[in-house]
Amino acid sequence: MKNLVLLLIVGLMASCTPEPIDIELPQAPSKIVVSSQYAYDTISQQNVLLVVLTKSFSALENNLPVIDSTGIHINPDLLVSGATVEVITPQETITLTEGDQGMYYAVNFSYVPNQLVKLVVKDAQNNVLTEATTGTTQTKDFEYVGLQQKGANKFLNYAIKDDPNTSNWYLVNYFTKQQKDSVPNYNDPRYIAKKLTEQDVSFDIYSDADFVNGTLTVEKNLGVYNYDTVVVAISEVTQSHYQFLTAQKRYGKFINQLRGEIINFPTNVKNGYGYFSANNPKVRILTFN
Amino acid sequence: MNPKIYLYLIVLLVFSNANAQTIKVDGFITDEKTGESLIGVSVYNAAKSTGTSSNAYGYFSLVLNKPDTICFSYMGYSLLKQYVTNEKTIRVQLVSSAAELKQVVVKANVNRTQLNGTQEVDLKLLNRLPVMGGEKDVIKAIQFIPGVKKGADGTASMLVRGGAHDQNLILLDDAPVYNPTHLLGFFSLFNADVIKDAKLQIGAFDAKYGGRLSSVLDIHTIDGDHNKFRVQAATGILSSKAAIQGPMLKGKGSYLIAGRVSYIDQVFKLVNKELPFFFYDFNAKFNYELSPSDKIYLSFYNGDDYLNASAADSNNQVRLSSKMGNQITSLRWNHAFANKKMFSNITVFNSKYRYELLGDFEGNKVAVNSYVEDLGVRNNWEHYINPKLNLSYGFELIEHRFNPNETKLTGSFNDNIKEKAASLSSITESAIYFQSFYKVSNRIQLNTGIRASNGSSNLNMNFEPRLALAYQLNQYNGFHLSYTRMNQYMFLLTGGSVVLPTDLWFAAKGNIKPQQADQITLKHELKYERLKLQSELYYKQMKNLIEYKEGTTEFIINEVEKLITQGNGEAYGYDFSVNYNIGKFSFNGAYSLSWAKRKFSDLNRGEAFYARFDRRHDLNLIVGYEFNQRIGITGVWSYATGSRFTPIIGQFMMPNGNYNNIDVLPIYTGRNAVQLSPSHRFDFNVVIKNKPGKSFETEWHVGVYNAYNQTQPFRIKMIKADDGRISYKQTGLFGLIPHVSFQIKL
């Protein structure tokens, strides 16, 4: 009898799922998104300033870029093409050339450290769509120490020297051959296990707080890495760029995505999103035996 | 006001009233049948010109100006009168009456407006309230008090006047409780069958309380029957429990032993669903009368929650298990002095909340252990100077010990989890306090108190004034004005979106400043025959509140200072309650209109934002009807404005830091800028008792939670329609849930 009552109740419990309630959430208006990169182009054998203009989109839209063997493909509706993009330095004003849709570049950009660079984006009627200002930085190098095997993992050892009397911020990129993640599935404990145990090699950022007596000693865990080459690029960046990268790095962390904590991304783009940067990286290709 | 001047004024007030000629009467008040001490019994003279109430140990002391009749009045008991001609100590035994069945939410002192802002939780109503699963829960009953908001639907959480979860001082037999819930917060750890008395203060705090900003919940358990061995047992769909109590040591003492165990995991298995949680708890209490003036009490609580979850396929296996719970012990000795003017209680306590997590990720193992522990001593004196003046003073000394996230790893893990050795730390919290309760005239009462507290290694004291003024306008109306300051030296670090039992307590030390709140209240109370109305305005300002910095990425917390940010908050609003009883019918209503705001320079781009549980309206209506002595029904309708959250309202693409992929990044609204839809539901509970006069008592409880199966919005889901359009839907945690439980007392 008791079991019968229990079954009845449990059955009723399981059957009573109320109807969900609709809710309208506000949607942010679409704005221009700026991203940029200053790098050495091996084809033209020149330093290239690349600016990419896209548009922000609704939270309800699924616009994940598609990656295949030919590259990264973005929804063309989100690319801002036909704009006039100018970069203004104390020495000159350069109008960038539009390459692919939404991509603008200048090959003749002369990099002068420690000055302000202004980006102006105009539409066909010469109306200013957005502006952004950033600073250029010194080119920095690092001292490679060696590669170390600890257990199953490889560790890259290097050091960065810094002037302890000035405030500096750094971005270090690692380019390794490694498998990219599959689609996240936070309901699957095995996905969680993978994210907790596999090493994630991406980029690191440093500030003065990480330095001891003007030296930063890094032991970078590359995880189980069976290849003979790692490309490392080091840049000094501005403080606000460092803050943007900090937010981006936090957002990319598995624990943050699991907890769903809020991150508001800082920006130097007027009435827009993203970050206009002009850091000049020193690229090193490290080959191991 | 300068603290020294303030202290001087209090001392002046005390000694200006210390020399009147009087008759002193004191004693203990107990239940005639069980010998249980009775808390809060109103004791007053025939003319009602002087009065007091029994304290937490049933002790009272009354000072009369001349030979007089003393009345002892207590809800559910027959009025007792005793003529006193000379100074004496008396033992008062009150006889339970048929009036026991009558319901009120808040019991007040019969003669005067309440001065201390205390809300007494009506345990008889608690027994009749409909609750999810039929598991009686004192905290869920407290959620019906205006000014107290619940967290998520069905949880036993308390958010008081714009405060956070960790701002409530919860005392079980004088020992603090750190995590007062079971089963991820859905049930409180207090076994309702062993609670004798529960009092809540949400403003006008007594000086003897401190260490939390927003509320004090003081719970005392049953001492145990002094005259007869008794057994009681209850079973429901989620848990079963049993208790025994009886006399010991030739009637000089008594004991209570109670246990409770849940089997919700087994219930879910019946419908092929997994809910791998269960809990148990255990209460024991012993008391012994050393002499007519001395009594000792030993209380013990232990309870644990267990989780055992796993996911596996042919190649991989992931296991997660946890054990978390409280262990609380308190030893109290109280002494009534021969001069009949003083009562002292000293409590030594230990309270520990600990959790263990074990994870096995395909052979890579992680073990995390954490605990917070208090070792403390508290000494309180009550001093009954004359009919106009009572004093309360004492001290408190607590060592808070912390061991957060001791982590051991076996196998391969990445930077998300790092090994961490045990890192024991502690702070000593100390306080001295003094409070006077002064009856200026028949219409005016004044409480002045001060608490000096310290929660750091230096000797700087933080002064916390406690002021309250009551004015009895006429027979029916009274007003009450109060100002209090509270300091909090510990905090619970919780995420913005969820509160978990694995959240950790930390000390406010180093660069972390203690939290502080100043609160002003103005209350009006109307009592007219069986009608009682209370309305209260409040304004609370909070400093040094603590939140995670934006974008927390840490799972194992090493340096808490780097993770948090401190800011300010304010809360204000209006709380209203009405209680009305006539014959078999009772009605209780509670309404809160409130605002709760925060401002942190590091959050929400420095702009002010609403707290997550800022809800403009909360309304609870409770209607009871007793058909006869055996059958009664209680229905509750609740309405609450939706909780706040921070949705993603847009997205944008940026190359990742390595320029080899693209991140899609979120655009949020302002922090907590959007509200869920309001929630409302109707619950009812029918109590069916056996015929009176039997040698045993039985009770059936049958009812329904969320009777019209309304969604109580808790989260947002994105739903993709057949035509590809995406929309948002709010879903809840629970729908209609019936309950049935059975209780027997021998």
Of A82-96, B499-513, B553-567, where does mean pLDDT reach its minimum? Answer: B553-567
B416·A253 Cβ contact <8 A: yes
User: Which amino acid makes up residue B670?
Assistant: G
Q: Which residues of A38-59 are buried (b: 16+ CB within 10 A; e: fewer)?
A: bbeeeeeeebbbbbbbbbbbbb
- Residue A182 reports pLDDT greater than 70: no
**SS3 assignment, position B563:** helix
* Residue A14 phi, psi dihedral angles, 5° rounding: -70, -25
DSSP A3-57: HHHHHHHHHHHHH--PPPEE-----PPP-EEEEEEEEEETTTTEEEEEEEEEE-E
Quote the percentage of chain A above a pLDDT of 90: 10
- Tell whether ipTM is more than 0.90: no
Read off the pLDDT of each residue in B416-437 and give the average, rounded to a whole number: 87
Read off the pLDDT of each residue in A251-262 and give the average, rounded to a whole number: 64
Nearest CA in chain B to A209: B562
To the nearest whole Å, the CA of A281 is away from the closest chain B CA by: 12
Read off the pLDDT of each residue in B600-612 and give the average, rounded to a whole number: 91
- Residue B72 reports pLDDT greater than 80: yes
What is the rounded distance in angstroms from the CA atom of residue B136 to the CA atom of residue B685? 11
pLDDT level of residue B207 (50, 70, 90 thresholds): very high
A11·B550 Cβ contact <8 A: no
Nearest beta carbon to residue B652 from set A18, A56, A249: A56
- Angle, vertex CA B396, rays to CA B160 and CA B137, nearest 5: 35
Mutation for testing the B interface, residue in A5, A174, A197, A219 having most B CBs under 10 Å: A197
pLDDT level of residue B498 (50, 70, 90 thresholds): low
Q: Report chain B residues whose CB lies below 8 A from the CB of A203.
A: 656-658
Q: Which pLDDT value is given to residue B457?
A: 65
**SS3 assignment, position A216:** strand
Ranges B390-404, B647-661, B714-728, most confident: B390-404
Read off the pLDDT of each residue in B25-38 and give the average, rounded to a whole number: 87
Q: Which pLDDT value is given to residue B9?
A: 54
Nearest CA in chain B to A63: B664
pLDDT (tens digit per residue) in A121-158: 988 888 888 888 888 887 777 787 778 888 777 888 88
DSSP B695-737: SSEEEEEEEEESTT------EEEEEE-TTS-EEEEEE-S---E
Mutation for testing the B interface, residue in A3, A13, A221 having most B CBs under 10 Å: A13
- Residue B488 reports pLDDT greater than 60: yes
Q: Would you give the end-to-end CA distance of chain B in angstroms? A: 58
Read off the pLDDT of each residue in A93-120 and give the average, rounded to a whole number: 85
Instruction: Kindly report the length of chain A.
Output: 289
- Residue B58 reports pLDDT greater than 50: yes
- Residue A280 reports pLDDT greater than 90: no
What is the rounded distance in angstroms from the CA atom of residue B487 to the CA atom of residue B455? 9
Read off the pLDDT of each residue in B205-217 and give the average, rounded to a whole number: 93
CA neighbor of A36 nearest in space, from A235, A177, A253, A192 = A235
Q: Which pLDDT value is given to residue B131?
A: 79
- Residue B681 reports pLDDT greater than 50: yes
B726·A37 Cβ contact <8 A: no
Q: What is the CA radius of gyration of chain A?
A: 24
Of A249-258, B601-610, B633-642, where does mean pLDDT reach its minimum? Answer: A249-258
Q: Which pLDDT value is given to residue B264?
A: 82
Of A56-65, A279-288, B166-175, B308-317, where does mean pLDDT reach its minimum? Answer: B308-317
Q: Report chain A residues whose CB lies below 8 A from the CB of B677.
A: 21, 23
Q: Which pLDDT value is given to residue A188?
A: 55
Q: Report chain A residues whose CB lies below 8 A from the CB of B412.
A: 151-153, 197
Please give the structure tokens belonging to residue B291.
């002499």
Read off the pLDDT of each residue in B470-488 and give the average, rounded to a whole number: 92
DSSP B153-211: TT----EETT--GGGEEEEETTEE-S--EEGGGTEES--GGGEEEEEEESSS--TT--S
Of A171-180, B23-32, B103-112, where does mean pLDDT reach its minimum? Answer: B103-112
Q: Report chain A residues whose CB lies below 8 A from the CB of B731.
A: 20
Read off the pLDDT of each residue in B138-151 and give the average, rounded to a whole number: 87
pLDDT level of residue B366 (50, 70, 90 thresholds): confident
Please give the structure tokens belonging to residue B136.
């009686």
Please give the structure tokens belonging to residue B335.
């002494």
- Residue B110 reports pLDDT greater than 80: no
pLDDT level of residue B599 (50, 70, 90 thresholds): very high
Contact (Cβ atoms closer than 8 angstroms) between residue B103 and residue B122: yes
What is the rounded distance in angstroms from the CA atom of residue B179 to the CA atom of residue B156? 11
pLDDT level of residue A55 (50, 70, 90 thresholds): very high
Q: Which pLDDT value is given to residue B548?
A: 85
Q: Which pLDDT value is given to residue B347?
A: 96
* Residue B395 phi, psi dihedral angles, 5° rounding: -145, 170
Please give the structure tokens belonging to residue A252.
């990319």
To the nearest whole Å, the CA of A36 is away from the closest chain B CA by: 9
- For the entire predicted model, the pTM comes to 0.85
Nearest CA in chain B to A32: B652
Read off the pLDDT of each residue in B640-655 and give the average, rounded to a whole number: 90
Which helix (H) or strand (E) element contains residue A41? strand A32-41
- Residue B396 reports pLDDT greater than 50: yes
B552·A255 Cβ contact <8 A: yes
Q: Which pLDDT value is given to residue B152?
A: 76
To the nearest whole Å, the CA of A188 is away from the closest chain B CA by: 8
pLDDT (tens digit per residue) in A28-45: 999 999 998 887 766 667
A-to-B residue pairs, Cβ atoms closer than 8 angstroms: 248
Q: Which pLDDT value is given to residue B607?
A: 92
Q: What is the CA radius of gyration of chain B?
A: 27
Read off the pLDDT of each residue in A199-226 and give the average, rounded to a whole number: 80
Nearest beta carbon to residue A264 from set B268, B412, B550: B550
Mean pLDDT of all residues belonging to chain B: 85
Read off the pLDDT of each residue in A210-223 and give the average, rounded to a whole number: 85
Please give the structure tokens belonging to residue B334.
């109280």
Q: Which pLDDT value is given to residue A70?
A: 67
Nearest CA in chain B to A7: B270
Contact (Cβ atoms closer than 8 angstroms) between residue A258 and residue A212: no
Q: Which pLDDT value is given to residue B537?
A: 95
Read off the pLDDT of each residue in B99-111 and give the average, rounded to a whole number: 38
CA neighbor of B137 nearest in space, from B87, B86, B198 = B198
pLDDT (tens digit per residue) in B157-204: 889 999 998 999 999 999 999 988 888 778 888 998 899 888 899 988
What is the rounded distance in angstroms from the CA atom of residue A247 to the CA atom of residue B495? 17
